[in-house]
Structure 1
């Protein structure tokens, strides 16, 4: 009976180790993604934007990546993110994403924005 308990503990240890290793290993993703752990936006493995944790840009970018492909209104951003009146055009320009990425990921019309980074499949080099 004692041997079975040791084997079970050993297996649990292995699963925990592998889970931590998988979580902490470097991301090798394609396309545009937001890493909440280090407050950065990456294009593939290239860092394209570093944000200060809990800044207004951080909150906005985090909200966008949590609502990909969905129409987001200025009112929704006022209520859920900023607690003050906002203008989507100004918010998007303040993020400081490279223009070629910004143009491909944002669709802005009449106080509404749709954020869709799926068009960025491979790294776009900054110039």
Structure 2
């Protein structure tokens, strides 16, 4: 009889320990998310109707329709997370050959830290990472 009681007491203690551990884990996660220390991936998005680039749903840059920046960025977002050959980009977005790709990226008016993470120059091409 006492051995049955000891087994029940042991299982009860283990269950209580697991419940408290789970509760503590969820509390710590909620605290980290509310204090801003929770690292969630950044997400770039281009709203074609408003001509606005957002980062995590916060507006970053408003583009003038038809401008060089608009043509460049709309083409990059159409082919996001894909490597685009420089020649194809220049033809599709109607970019003059005299414009350097580094200058195009710098003229986006995005903060440098975001540009450095979002745009990846590859041999003969470029890729826009929308999550980083």
What TM-score range do you get, normalising by the shorter chain? Answer: 0.5 to 0.7
Partner of 1:78: 90
Task: State the SS of the aligned residue for 2:74.
Answer: helix
User: Would the aligned equivalents of 1:88 and 1:112 in 2 still touch at CA under 8 Å?
Assistant: no
Gaps of 5+ in 2: 1-41
User: Would the aligned equivalents of 1:74 and 1:112 in 2 still touch at CA under 8 Å?
Assistant: yes
Matched residues in 1 for 2:102 and 2:125: separation? 9
CA deviation map 1:21-80 (0-9, x unaligned): xxxxxxxxx721000111000112211001101111011111011101111122112211
Matched residues in 1 for 2:126 and 2:86: separation? 8
Partner of 1:13: none
TM-score when scaled to structure 1? 0.65
Shift in CA distance, 54/100, structure 1 to aligned 2, threshold 3 Å? same
Rg (Cα) greater in structure: 2
Give the paired residue count.
Answer: 90
Partner of 2:108: 95
Shift of 1:115: 0.8
Matched residues in 2 for 1:37 and 1:95: separation? 18
Following TM superposition, where does structure 1 have runs of at least 4 consecutive aligned residues deviating by more than 2 angstroms? none
Partner of 2:39: none
User: Would the aligned equivalents of 2:68 and 2:95 in 1 still touch at CA under 8 Å?
Assistant: no
Cα root mean square deviation, aligned: 1.6
1:45 and 2:87 are equivalent in the alignment: no
TM-score when scaled to structure 2? 0.62
Partner of 2:126: 113
Partner of 1:24: none
